[in-house]
Amino acid sequence: MAKVAFLLASGFEDSEMKNPYNAVKDAGHEVIVVGLEKGAQCDGKKGTVSYTADLGASEAKSEEFDAVIIPGGGAPEALRVNEEVIRFVKEVNEQGKLIAGICHGPQVMISADVLKGKAATCYIGIRDDVKLAGADYRDEEVVVSENLVTSRTPVDEPAFIREILAKLA
């Protein structure tokens, strides 16, 4: 079974964390919440779910994980400015491992410079940023491009989860 990091800070879109997290866990994979600091409480922007960071980004070792999932909402903005988060995502990408982001999640991919030459989708508000980062932007429910899986909004979660589970299988 895979060991999967969920990158999280407060302000994430509740369902974009809860649904993939539960699906990956229910499929038998090990799930680890990686936050800005170990033990940090991460609250969803709608207040329906809350998680505690199992690891801080500075403790996250890319070689110990098989995949990284980045829920959207406001959390990616806080994550993308953290050097340790960016180091971790870059290393996971260099190892060719799965990186999945939904909604604003690709903001972290932009900062980690992992979109160049790949196809991706995202929340429409960051579409231009994704294009400027070198991605072939596609307005589709889910886009799989090499090791990346991206989706647009909570409506696309079923397709997002399906492709993540297929990559982890």
Alpha carbons 46 and 20: distance in angstroms, whole number: 17
pLDDT (0 to 100) of residue 73 = 97
pLDDT (0 to 100) of residue 83 = 98
Q: How far is CA 96 from CA 41, 89, 90, 137, in A?
A: 30, 11, 10, 21
- The confidence band for 75, taking pLDDT boundaries of 50, 70 and 90, is very high
Question: How high does pLDDT run on average in the chain?
Answer: 98
Q: Are strands 30-35 and 142-145 parallel, antiparallel or unpaired?
A: unpaired
Cut 0.85: pTM above it: yes
- The confidence band for 95, taking pLDDT boundaries of 50, 70 and 90, is very high
- The confidence band for 41, taking pLDDT boundaries of 50, 70 and 90, is very high
CATH number at residue 15: 3.40.50.880
Number of structural domains (the chain) is 1
Alpha carbons 149 and 104: distance in angstroms, whole number: 13
- The residues assigned a catalytic role are 103-104
Q: What is the extent of the structural domain holding 45?
A: 3-168
pLDDT (0 to 100) of residue 155 = 98
pLDDT in tens, 106-159: 999 999 999 999 999 999 999 999 999 999 999 999 999 999 999 999 999 999
